[in-house]
Structure 1
Amino acid sequence: MDYLVLFFIGITATTIGTLAGGGGLISLPAMLLLGVPIHSAIGANKVSNTVSSFSSFFVLLKHKRISLRESLWIIPVSLFGGVSGGFLATRLTDQQLSIFAIGLLVFAFVTSFIGKGDFSGDKKLTVNRISVPGLYSIGIYDGLFGPGQGTLMLYLFGYLEVAYIRAVGYVRLATFSSCFGAAITYIAAGKIIWPLTIMLLLGSVTGAQLGVRLAEKLKPAYVKPILRIVTVALIVQIVLDSF
């Protein structure tokens, strides 16, 4: 029964994560409730996210909704940010990490009401003074804490006036980049419970494909309200876990 539950957890979390980020808001607490050890639960998430995020990126690339040439530079920036965040995480307490995460998510939530960017634009993603520091900073956040990384990236791409469907593809590429190294680390450390991880992975790949197809049909005007709901849910979860 747990295997079937994990499959549906993977579908639900990754569908929502593809559309608006915050999939870990569902998958990680659900796995902990099922009694999966914390390190094994995180490792399963990293492995499943690595595969599912690449699968959704590949579909959008195959359908020519995104450009490989336009997006390849995301990989080293996100990787370097993740490594930097992991280094900083060893020097901060859990409470400091939680305060940092809450502050960043509240900032993103507030600026979503006053900033530009409603995903109706169609600008190319270019290397500039906003995109590189923005992606690197979110990479640091992913290495430090993690939950909400995709949501924050969508806010950034919306500000940069990148069309929503392309923003989804680029977020998935960045997620693949940041999760790949972490997945290798958890596998090498022997923290992976493979039968559970494979079921979550199969559900996540299914959810990624469903999320991509829903994203292609989602009107840009609906994106920010969904992002705000996910952001508030993330803030509430982090506050409850911390205090």
Structure 2
Amino acid sequence: MEVLLFVTGLTVAFVGTLAGSGGLIGMPMMLLLGIPVHTSIATAKFSNIISSLSSFVYLLKDRKITMKECLPIVPLAVAGGLAGAFLSDKIDPEVLEWMAFFFLLGALLLSVLKRNKTEKSAEDHKLPFGKLFLISSYDGLFGPGQATLLMYTYIRHGFSYLKTVALTRFQTFISCLGAFFMYLINGHVDWMTAVPFALGALIGAQLSVRLASKISIKQAGILLNIITLILIIQVGFRLFL
């Protein structure tokens, strides 16, 4: 099972870094292997801490982003991650899947019906703190689809694709760090599951972040729409059938 978890973690991080929603690949696989839902979420949080930090550090060293641009995200990502994880034991897993379905459907419709804002200089960006807090809360609560929602949000507010990837990785790292702390103290962490999954995610993240520099903002939008449509069909199939 460890090899399967490793390969799944690699795939999840590779897809998740480029277009988000890797969790909608990893979560069904872990549940299929008989891993309890809260342990699966905790495993995803741990792997995201490792993979997101590694890909963010790569982009930071490559000067695609600065810490000054990222620091305003920290308080809302921490608060959102903690709040979501705190609520996770109180909400039925099927309700969380319905949330993922409607969030992704809404993001896809917005992308198709409205044009993204043109790219701006760093000084002109205004972060949508309310939206970012809600997405971080959802990340702590459940997670699948979270990175796609973040990428839609950043791209729609005029960030370049590489900055969007960097900010999404950074916010994911912070919110997952806060959420994982809650899952750990609530006894939902199984290290035999979390470690091989995280090792695969680390490699997947490093592979994908190197590919990201070759993707244009137009290609990124197409990739996001395709991935989101596939995931909506996948989640909808489980919910309606």
Sort the Cα spacing of 1:212 and 1:188 in 2 relative to 1 into closer, same or farther, 3 A: same
Q: Report the aligned-residue RMSD.
A: 2.3
Moved more, 14-23 or 79-88: 79-88
1:77 aligns with: 76
The structure-2 alpha-carbon separation of the partners of 1:96 and 1:11, relative to structure 1 and needing over 3 Å to count, comes to closer
Q: Verify: 1:226 aligned to 2:218, yes or no.
A: no
- Give the counterpart letter for 2:58 in structure 1: V
SS of residue matched to 2:233: helix
| Residue in 2 that maps onto 1:10 | 9
Q: Name the counterpart of 1:146.
A: 143
Q: How far 1:212 sits from its partner (Å)?
A: 0.5
Residues 41, 142 of structure 2: 8 Å contact kept:
no
Could you list the runs of 5+ residues in structure 1 that have no partner in the other structure? none
Q: Which amino acid aligns with 1:121?
A: E
Unaligned runs of 5+ in 2: none
The answer as to 2:34 corresponding to 1:35 is: yes
Deviation at 1:101, TM superposition (A): 3.2
Q: Report the TM-score, using the length of structure 1 for normalisation.
A: 0.88
Q: Tell me the matched-pair count.
A: 240
Q: 1:79–1:126: structure 2 CA closer, same or farther, 3 Å change rule?
A: farther
Return the match for 2:187 from 164, 186, 190.
190
Counterpart secondary structure, 2:119: coil
* Alignment correspondent of 2:153: 156
Correspondence for 1:52: 51
| Structure 1 residue 23: Cα displacement | 0.6
**Alignment map for 1:202-241 (pairs within 5 Å):** 202-241=199-238
Shift of 1:91: 6.5
Q: Return the offset for 1:70.
A: 1.0
CA distance in 1 between partners of 2:43 and 2:74 (Å): 22
The answer (yes or no) to whether the contact 1:123–1:160 under 8 Å persists in 2 is no
1:121 aligned to which of 119, 122, 128: 119
TM-score normalised to structure 2 length: 0.89
Equivalents in 2 of 1:133, 1:78: separation in Å?
Answer: 11
